């Protein structure tokens, strides 16, 4: 599908102040490392992640999302009473009911006309929500939407540390838990609208492609436990299955946009780690110099990773706001969505 009238009006993000290095994570895993005679340094070596950030475990997803959302509104370019739709799109949520978007709405001080809902699809949730909102704007059903996501990986990492240190697992059995140790925290908020209503025009939302293969939905599964969030991942199989889905979405993407792999000035992918990034670049055949990565210092922030990386890239180099860019999302399940900007 293509869009002709939808623009990103403003972007904002929030990051926790607490920074935890991979060295510190491994120090906390000393009982496991000593028992299995594991060499320290393997976490950063395998992932390329030097550090990640955390909020306190008690901080709700809505509070993180609203922190980014309030930054979106702080210069009063956007009238909080003129927001037609608010979507919360993170993996993390406050509770099953009501929608986490309801808490974000209150914390942001949005008006009574705003529709609220949650969209959840693993690490792809933000892009899914963006497309839903953009489609409504394109069809003139609404004028303006805000999409937010707030992820805090600390409860998952804390529970993973407890399981690994207290368990009797061998080297093979611990592998499915190690991906959890790459998770970080962050929040992001974007306002999108029609070009005729934009308070300021940043970036044109142009077109997208998707590819889905749910035969692999068992490769990364997470759920709540008494202690907190528990997740297990077959990282090697997930990497290969994800690349296959991404290649199909990429080929459709090139057809829809008329681009070649050299057309975008900037290509931002979901931030998993070094191996994933290298495999994506190789499989899709684009120059790594086009990439902008945040995984080294933020880790994998779930649904926040891709949009916060694009937001930070544009903050560092404002010229990118108006240049051709590709956002390449992948979510466990498996599904890939690729979004063209400024085509």
Q: Is residue 127 part of a domain?
A: no
Q: Which domain holds residue 326?
A: 203-341
Question: Which tens digits make up the pLDDT trace of 220-250?
Answer: 888 876 556 778 888 888 888 889 999 999 9
Q: What is the pLDDT of residue 186?
A: 98
Dist CA 271 CA 328 (whole Å): 10
Residue range 9-35, pLDDT digits in tens: 999 999 999 999 999 999 999 999 999
> What does pLDDT average to over the chain?
94
> In sequence order, what are the residues at sequence separation of 6 or more whose Cβ sits closer than 8 angstroms to the Cβ of residue 133?
85, 87, 142, 145, 147, 192
- In angstroms, the CA 208 to CA 205 distance is 9
Instruction: Give the pLDDT of residue 228.
Output: 64
User: pLDDT, tens digit, for every residue of 256-295?
Assistant: 999 999 999 999 999 999 999 999 999 999 999 999 999 9
- CA distances (Å), origin 137, targets 133, 192, 205, 231: 6, 8, 11, 36
Count of domains for the chain: 1
Contact 292, 268 (CB under 8 A): yes
Per-residue pLDDT reduced to its tens digit, 165-205: 987 889 999 999 999 999 999 999 999 999 988 887 789 99
> Residue 152 domain-assigned?
no
CATH code at position 314: 3.40.47.10
337 within 8 A of 212, measured Cβ to Cβ:
no
Q: Is the pTM of this model over 0.85?
A: yes
Alpha carbon 113 to its chain centroid, in Å, reads 28
258 domain residue, yes or no: yes
Would residue 273 count as lying in a domain?
A: yes
Say how many CA atoms lie within 13 Å of 12 toward its Cβ: 21
Residue 64 lies in a domain: no
Question: Does the residue 320 lie in any domain?
Answer: yes
CA dist., res. 115 & res. 101, Å (int): 9
Q: 123, 330 in Cβ contact below 8 A?
A: yes
Residues 129-149: what's their mean pLDDT? 98
Q: Is the pLDDT of residue 253 over 70?
A: yes
Please tell me the distance from the alpha carbon of residue 18 to that of residue 16, in angstroms, as a whole number.
Answer: 6
Establish if 37 belongs to a structural domain. Answer: no
Average pLDDT value for residue range 252-256: 96
Q: Quick: pLDDT tens for 115-127.
A: 999 999 999 999 9
Taking residue 63's Cβ as centre, other Cβ atoms within 10 Å add up to: 18
Q: Is the pLDDT of residue 219 over 80?
A: no
**For residue 175, is it within any domain?**
no
Provide mean pLDDT across the span 138-150.
97
Residue from 235, 203, 215 nearest 313 by CA: 203
Quick check: 207 pLDDT over 60?
Answer: yes
* pLDDT reading at 54 higher than 90: yes
My answer on whether omega of the bond before 109 falls inside 30° of 0, hence cis, is no
């Amino acid at each position: 599908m293509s869009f002709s009238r939808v623009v990103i009006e403003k972007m904002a993000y929030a990051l926790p102040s607490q920074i935890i290095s991979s060295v510190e994570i491994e120090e906390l895993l000393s009982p496991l490392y000593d028992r299995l005679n594991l060499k320290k340094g393997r976490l950063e070596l395998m992932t390329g992640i030097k550090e990640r950030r955390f909020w306190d475990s008690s901080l709700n997803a809505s509070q993180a999302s609203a922190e980014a959302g309030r930054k979106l509104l702080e210069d009063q370019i956007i009238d909080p009473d003129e927001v037609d739709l608010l979507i919360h799109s993170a993996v993390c949520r406050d509770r099953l009911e009501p929608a986490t978007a309801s808490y974000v709405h209150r914390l942001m001080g949005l008006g009574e006309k705003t529709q609220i809902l949650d969209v959840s699809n693993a690490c792809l949730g933000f892009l899914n929500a963006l497309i839903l909102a953009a489609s409504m704007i394109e069809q003139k059903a609404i004028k303006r939407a805000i999409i937010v996501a707030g992820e805090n990986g600390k409860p998952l990492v804390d529970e993973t540390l407890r399981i690994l240190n207290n368990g009797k697992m061998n080297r093979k059995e611990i592998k499915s838990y190690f991906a959890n140790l790459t998770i970080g925290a962050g929040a992001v908020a974007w306002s999108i609208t029609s070009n005729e209503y934009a308070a300021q025009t940043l970036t044109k939302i142009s077109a997208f492609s998707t590819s889905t293969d749910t035969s692999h939905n068992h490769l990364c599964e997470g759920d709540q436990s008494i202690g907190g969030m528990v997740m297990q991942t077959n990282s090697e199989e997930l990497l290969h299955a994800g690349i296959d889905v991404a290649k199909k979405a990429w080929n459709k993407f090139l057809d829809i946009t008329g681009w070649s792999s050299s057309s975008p000035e900037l290509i931002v992918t979901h931030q998993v780690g070094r191996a994933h990034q290298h495999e994506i670049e190789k499989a899709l055949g684009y120059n790594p110099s086009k990439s902008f990565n945040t995984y080294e210092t933020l880790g994998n922030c779930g649904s926040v990773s891709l949009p916060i990386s694009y937001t930070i890239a544009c903050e560092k180099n404002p010229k990118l706001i108006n240049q051709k860019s590709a956002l390449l999302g992948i979510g466990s399940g498996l599904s890939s969505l690729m979004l063209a900007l400024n085509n």
